[in-house]
Amino acid sequence: MIHVFNRVSKIFAALFMVFMTVGGSFAQDGEALFKSNCARCHYASDKKLVGPGLAGVRSRWSSEDNLHAWIVNSTDYLKTGDSYATDLFEKFNKSVMPGFPNLKKEEVTAILDYIDKAGAAPAGGGSDSTAVAGGGAGAQGGDSGNTLMYVLIVVILILSVLIYALYKISVSLTELVKQREGDGSTDDRTFLDKAEDCFRASKKWAGENKAIVGVAIFVGLCFVLKLAWDGLMGIGVYQGYQPHQPIKFSHAKHAGELKIACEYCHTGVKESRHATIPSSSTCMNCHKAVSEGPLYGKNEIAKIYASIGFDPNKGAYIDNYNNQDKEQVLAVYEEWLGGDNDAFRAVEQYVQKPIDWVQIHKLPDHAYFNHAQHYRVGGVECQTCHGKVEEMEEVKQFAPLTMGWCINCHRETKVKFEENPYYDKLHDYLAERYKKGDQFTVARIGGLECGKCHY
């Protein structure tokens, strides 16, 4: 009985093995294996990443065995002196492909099968297949005010034309009636005479209804004075300032959707008075691989490339970029953007130039503010002063940044003494002097002193 059981189990095991090795089950495994082992450096299409695009890789190699040997251990394979492998190694700046000794032969075959299948499909690597509609919500919001104004102007124009036409018609009709009645005496008063009559009549009416006129003037005055007051108080206050930036960088995409921390790009916030604007090299940490975005395609990312000197056609930096011939460099980006089109002209101005981001938050020169002090010592969230930037397509100044606003916050915010090495000494001193549980605002430890910010 046991013997039979063993035999049956053996048959099952054998069947299982056959199923694993021969069956088409590796087709989807190939994809998973490709993604976990190869996708970091290779696209399945003909697009370059760190290494070459793998579409048609089988046909490029002399034999499948050689290709297998190369994949499993490229360093050892190079020693055989295969000319194709050596060329490849030279072409990719002698960067070594890590060995994959843990990949079995069938697994490599499955990966290659997957590449054959995926490489034949037109999709270019996948980074551009995630196209999302509906960018620039902020930009559209900014435009809607203008369109409303245009609509209003057009409506007013149409109405005034209508009123003028009606007036003309009524005038000619009265003329006609008068002529019909055989009055003979045409109205030869000029327009000015008529206006004077009208003015006299309204003056007379105003004289008789002083109360109504008085109230109307008072209400109008209040309304307009309020507008004027707000306008005067807004002088020097940038709140709501939302300028277009040279690159349509979407914080909603990067900080919101991709959950990249604010401090990843604005690194200075921990150490310095400035939160710092990231240099193009920080953009390149990701955009070396992502050359087409889901919102604006190639157009915006190409500006970074033009500024820093990255050739997206070759997937490599241009040597000694700032001293290169400008015509040659321009040709690179013209090729990438598909000719002398609008996108290319927008990119042209950033070739070999820094990107001139528009400053939004501006404190007057006579006020000192330090990001590191607020971020590290105060533990203030970025959003407290900058609003929900991670939801903004286009950054807008959230806070008024007036002195009253600063002072208010210093009056209301409790100092975080706990586990805060910055305040170790001060905390001990205050703890000795005051009762426990007494809350300290920033104002009570000198946060309102003039010299703290103005010196």
Partner 1 sequence: MKKNYIQIARKGALLIGAAVVVASCSQKDPQSPGFEYMPDMYRSVGYDAYQANPNFANGTTAQNMVDGTMPYQADRSKIYNVLPYPFPNTNEGYEAAGLTLKNPLPYSEANLKQGEVLFQTFCQHCHGAKGMGDGVVGTKNPGLIPPAYNSPQLVSLPEGKIFHSITWGKGMMGAHQYQISKLDRWKLVHYVQSLQKTPAAGGATADSTAKPAADTTAAKKVAMK
Site for partner 1 in 265-294 (CB under 8 A): 267, 274, 277, 279, 281-282, 284-286, 288-290, 294
Question: Is 217 a residue that touches partner 1 (CB under 8 A)?
Answer: yes
Residue nearer to partner 1 on the CB measure, 98 or 338? 98
Question: Is 420 a residue that touches partner 1 (CB under 8 A)?
Answer: no
Binding residue for partner 1 (CB under 8 A) from 176, 212, 225, 331?
225
Q: Which of residues 11-50 bind partner 1 (CB under 8 A)?
A: 35-36, 39-41, 43, 49-50
Question: Is 424 a residue that touches partner 1 (CB under 8 A)?
Answer: no
Smallest gap from Cβ 315 to partner 1, in A, equals 11
Question: Is 210 a residue that touches partner 1 (CB under 8 A)?
Answer: yes
Inter-CA distances, 345 with 15, 249, 300, Å: 63, 18, 12
Inter-CA distances, 363 with 274, 280, 368, Å: 12, 25, 8
| DSSP code at position 121 | S
Close Cβ partners of 365 (under 8 Å, ≥ 6 residues apart): none
Exposure string for 252-267, b = 16+ CB within 10 A, e = fewer: bbbbbeeebebeebbe
Cα dihedral: 335, 341, 342, 347 (round 10): 20
302 close to 337: Cβ distance less than 8 angstroms: yes
Smallest gap from Cβ 92 to partner 1, in A, equals 12
Residue nearer to partner 1 on the CB measure, 136 or 142? 142
Smallest gap from Cβ 271 to partner 1, in A, equals 8
Residue nearer to partner 1 on the CB measure, 171 or 258? 258
Inter-CA distances, 194 with 173, 204, 223, Å: 17, 15, 32
Size of the site for partner 1 (CB under 8 A): 75
Binding residue for partner 1 (CB under 8 A) from 188, 365, 418, 432?
365
Binding residue for partner 1 (CB under 8 A) from 69, 78, 137, 260?
260
Region of 22-30, 348-356, 371-379, 403-411 interacting with partner 1 (CB under 8 A):
348-356
316 close to 336: Cβ distance less than 8 angstroms: no
Which amino acid is located at 192 in the chain?
Answer: L
Q: Which of residues 83-102 bind partner 1 (CB under 8 A)?
A: 94-96, 98, 100, 102
